Amino acid sequence: MTHNVVIIGSGGREHALAWKISQSKILNKLYALPGNPGIGNVAELENINPSDFAKVEEFIRAKDIDVMVVGPENPLVEGISDYFAEKMPQLLVIGPKSKGAQLEGSKQFAKEFMERHSIPTARFKSFTSEKDYDAACQFLKELKPPYVLKADGLAAGKGVLILDSLAEAEAELKEMFAGKFGSASSTVVIEEYLSGIELSVFVLTDGKDYLILPEAKDYKRIGEGDTGLNTGGMGAVSPVPFATEEFMKKVEERVIIPTINGLKSDNIDYKGFIFIGLMNCNSDPYVIEYNVRMGDPETEAVMTRIESDLLQHLVSAAKGELASEKIEISEDQALTVIAVSGGYPESYDKGFEIKGLESLTNATLFHSGTKEIDGKICTSGGRVLAITAKGNDIFEAKKRCFEEVSKISFDKMYYRRDIGDDLISLSK
Ligand code: AMP
Ligand code: GLY
């Protein structure tokens, strides 16, 4: 049986998912809502806002779609899976219902989940509104610097503050309670600082069984050498040299299995991706955060290493039949570079024509923030393109990737040239 599939979302992650699903042997027709011009090369687009569930439903019925893959977290936290479970129970949905989406939607919920299921994570306490300010300051005094403050709710990736001094932490805490991140920071999680190197682990689950997708590392800061402001992500590599078989075994036993069992024992019906942000602290994994979706830009690296049929895995996950699935992963090194608009993550101009897109020969191109204007592909966001190259090792992947990136240009284009450099010493 073949499937009509719709992907919800419009970024580089969704382009990578669409690219991979478009190669499936069991695909009939692929759609994306609203998608972007790159996704338009592999799927039919319709300009529907994913938060307008009734419009999405109308489209799904009109096109006889039987599989929906939700890319970003917002529609999940807003309850898109709950909506369709009620209105179209036969639709196969990849993405948890709002209760499971709380793993990302509320840091306090996620921390309490980890505590309840003995999943290693930083020591924490959460505090709600100004009435807790004194108690929160008292807890800060028990911790050593740097201090980690997290807005409980979704804050577009900006809700985590890491502060060097107690005075700064106390001042920021006051601002968070006063609405620095709107209602997202009316509750604040304060936690111990974990020192180590980060890893992104991706799991596809049907709530009982799971597949572990290729792991990745992303590069969050705007500047080379991990300096400057945080961004949505400036590049990624997969595999990651320190994610050895031994380390990944610890991740599976201490984190993945207790997470899946925890979902079961908490009666959370979860069918979808779990992205586990980990810190490797002296070879032991600690969970920094859960996300209920794939990572961006990690997906743009990860998808190029999956050799088995992703749509088959997704359909099985949505049906609760993941036990029979096996994932095949290539040993190649993938490396992704993000080309951004100059000025990002602060203010930037858009609408510049992107040149050279047709000249890529040795890399896979994913669109993030692009728009077609008068038949030309132009910039329309901070992160504009993701370029992924593969090689036998990180040197080859990197060389190839940057050769390809240099063929592309737009006004004020910027990218980090040091993606993967920190891992080269580890990979010898
Ligand atoms: P999050 O929004 O939870 O991904 O946090 C953003 C970033 O803050 C993470 O990717 C980490 O680099 C950092 N971070 C979060 N929590 C901690 C922690 N407890 N210790 C050290 N770094 C952290
Ligand atoms: N790359 C991190 C994220 O998608 O949240």
**What domain range is 171 assigned to?**
123-191
State residue 427's pLDDT score. Answer: 54
State residue 426's pLDDT score. Answer: 65
- Res 428 pLDDT > 50: no
pLDDT tier, 9 (very low <50, low <70, confident <90, very high otherwise): very high
Distance CA 75, CA 9 (A): 9
**191 CA distance to ligand 1 middle (Å):** 10
Of residues 180 and 417, which shows the higher confidence score?
Answer: 417
**210 CA distance to ligand 1 middle (Å):** 25
pLDDT tier, 156 (very low <50, low <70, confident <90, very high otherwise): confident
Which residues approach ligand 1 with their CB closer than 6 A?
A: 122, 148, 157, 160, 191, 193-194, 198, 277, 288-289
**In contact, 140 and 124? CB cutoff 8 Å:** no
Segment 368-387 shows an average pLDDT of 97
Query: Which CATH number is 61's domain given?
Result: 3.40.50.20
Q: Is 394 inside any structural domain?
A: no
Distance CA 391, CA 221 (A): 25
State residue 421's pLDDT score. Answer: 94
Least confident of 125-134, 206-215, 254-263: 125-134
- H helix runs in 53-106, sequence order: 53-62, 73-77, 80-87, 98-105
Co-location of 127 and 169 in the same domain: yes
State residue 210's pLDDT score. Answer: 98
**In contact, 215 and 243? CB cutoff 8 Å:** yes
Q: Is 379 inside any structural domain?
A: no
Residues 309-363 have pLDDT tens digits of 999 999 999 999 999 999 999 999 999 999 999 999 999 999 999 999 999 999 9
Inter-helix orientation angle 80-87/53-62, to 10°:
50
pTM for the full predicted model: 0.95
Question: Of the bound ligands, which one is closest to the alpha carbon of residue 154?
Answer: 1
State residue 337's pLDDT score. Answer: 98
Question: Of the bound ligands, which one is closest to the alpha carbon of residue 184?
Answer: 1
Mutate to test the pocket of ligand 2, among 218, 221, 290, 303 (most ligand atoms within 8 A of CB): 218
pLDDT tier, 56 (very low <50, low <70, confident <90, very high otherwise): very high
Give the CA distances from residue 370 to residues 71, 271, 298, 342, 354, in Å, rounded to whole numbers and listed in that order.
17, 30, 19, 14, 9
Q: Is 61 inside any structural domain?
A: yes
Percent of the chain with pLDDT over 90: 86
Burial (CB count <10 Å: 0-12, 13-18, 19+), residue 314: buried
- Res 23 pLDDT > 70: yes
Segment 107-128 shows an average pLDDT of 95
- Res 25 pLDDT > 90: yes
* Chain mean pLDDT for the chain: 95
State residue 51's pLDDT score. Answer: 95
Distance CA 101, CA 113 (A): 12
pLDDT tier, 216 (very low <50, low <70, confident <90, very high otherwise): very high
Co-location of 19 and 87 in the same domain: yes
Distance CA 152, CA 113 (A): 14
- Res 38 pLDDT > 50: yes
- Picking from 164, 191, 218, the residue at the C-terminal end of a domain is 191
Distance CA 183, CA 329 (A): 41
pLDDT tier, 17 (very low <50, low <70, confident <90, very high otherwise): very high
10 Å Cβ neighbour count for 319? 11
Query: Which CATH number is 154's domain given?
Result: 3.30.1490.20
- Picking from 142, 164, 191, the residue at the C-terminal end of a domain is 191
Q: Is 336 inside any structural domain?
A: no
Q: Is 287 inside any structural domain?
A: no
Q: Check residue 234 and report its DSSP letter.
A: S
Among 395, 428, 72, 13, residue whose Cα is nearest residue 213: 13
Ligand 1 atom with minimal separation from the 286 CA: 19
Among 334, 341, 149, 158, residue whose Cα is nearest residue 234: 341
Percent of the chain with pLDDT over 70: 99
Co-location of 67 and 10 in the same domain: yes
Q: Is 200 inside any structural domain?
A: no
Co-location of 24 and 87 in the same domain: yes
Q: Is 175 inside any structural domain?
A: yes
